[in-house]
Amino acid sequence: MATIRLPGLIDAHVHLREPGYTHKEDFHSGTCAALAGGVTTVLDMPNTEPPTSTPRRLQEKVDLARAKAVCDVGLFVGATVADIDAYLPAATRSCGLKIYVNETFGSLRIEELGLIHRLFRTWAARAAELDGWRPAATAAPTTATTLGPIAVHAEELMVPVCLSLCQLYDVPLHVVHVSRRSEIELIRAAKEKGLPVTCEATPHHLFLSEESFNRGGNRFDMRPRLAAPDDVEALWENLDAIDIFATDHAPHTLPEKGMAEDLPASSDRPPLPGVPGVETMLPLLLTAVDAGRLELDDLLLRCVENPRRIYALPEQPQTWVEVDVDTVHVLSDELTRARCGWTPFAGRHVKGRVEKVVLRGQTVFDGEQVLAAPGSGRVLFQESEQ
């Protein structure tokens, strides 16, 4: 058995579903799954119920995370048609502004170009009123008078729109879950022109394609949808233009996915898009390292160094993950710790098992059980946490 020690990973895109959807996941179950996957920091998205779009709602979410989380958590604020600029007073207490301009789960989609303009313009104006954009992270707490990037769920034709707005307002832009050749090639070109743009890719878009959906159906329904094999290959070909690997951990129950045996055949409820992933990212990527598709440094760059730099996340002292890189095991629904109880990678053989996680000097996962007490994780960008 060969054991290596890695720093705690950062998953910069998760949906822990609290408040509003705790039958799927909550801050405790989701962060337990994160620790079991070697992830010690997660950044949580705002499309909950109600959405995280006002200072009061952000504070309510902070309180929930402080009571339940077992790893560190950063929280996005979200733009909505109803609340418009209501999130701005809480901007410095978030890891960034999330804007949905394509189909997603929840009610946060922004479809009107003028409003998208306004969101970029007001985020830039707020940064100018403060001390600008967050600098690269250090071990010291991040100043509370700077802003993080705008993160966009943008697909196909909306990608060049958001890139243009990034250039127009000189706003740091992060494009989440890139999935197509056309998108990554546009982002590469924007980077080469010097635009302040970064992007991420998910394990499911790197390791699955539309052929998986054709064979397996609703289990593989997500947004963005799984793409063609050529799109998958384009992500690997343009790996140097991808800044972050993040899971878009988006759990739904089996009945909500239309996969449960007790779901009536006549049910007219459409399956909900999204898949869990925070617990399976590391073994999938380590398997790619073993196969020669990645270097270990590639993994650490995109799962530790770049997310910390892009979102200005503080370092975690005395934190590491011990991984047996020789063990081959099979991912399964039964072993997943996410509350939804399934994984799109069930049946896949992977190489690499998390044996131990230490967070700030305390063993929080021993290879079998999560040992951390609820509420022992920290909520980032809150003044009282500094």
- Which domain CATH number covers 351? 3.20.20.140
Integer Cα distance of 239 and 170 in angstroms: 25
Is the pLDDT higher at 281 or at 270?
Answer: 281
Q: Shortest CA distance to 281 belongs to which of 75, 76, 33?
A: 33
CB 311 within 8 A of CB 95: yes
Is the pLDDT higher at 144 or at 175?
Answer: 175
Helix (H), strand (E) at residue 3: strand 3-6
Query: Does 261 have pLDDT greater than 70?
Result: no
Average pLDDT over residues 34-59: 97
Query: Does 266 have pLDDT greater than 60?
Result: no
Supply φ then ψ for residue 351, to 5 degrees: -120, 115
Q: Give me the pLDDT at residue 106, please.
A: 58
Could you tell me the residue range of the domain that residue 297 belongs to? 3-385
Integer Cα distance of 245 and 95 in angstroms: 17
Model confidence, pTM: 0.95
- The single-letter code of the amino acid at 45 is M
Integer Cα distance of 289 and 295 in angstroms: 5
In the block, which residue shows the tokens 């635009």?
195
Query: Does 173 have pLDDT greater than 70?
Result: yes
Q: Shortest CA distance to 270 belongs to which of 278, 258, 252, 259?
A: 258
Question: What total number of domains does the chain contain?
Answer: 1
Helix (H), strand (E) at residue 78: strand 77-78
CA torsion 301-373-251-308 (nearest 10°) is -20
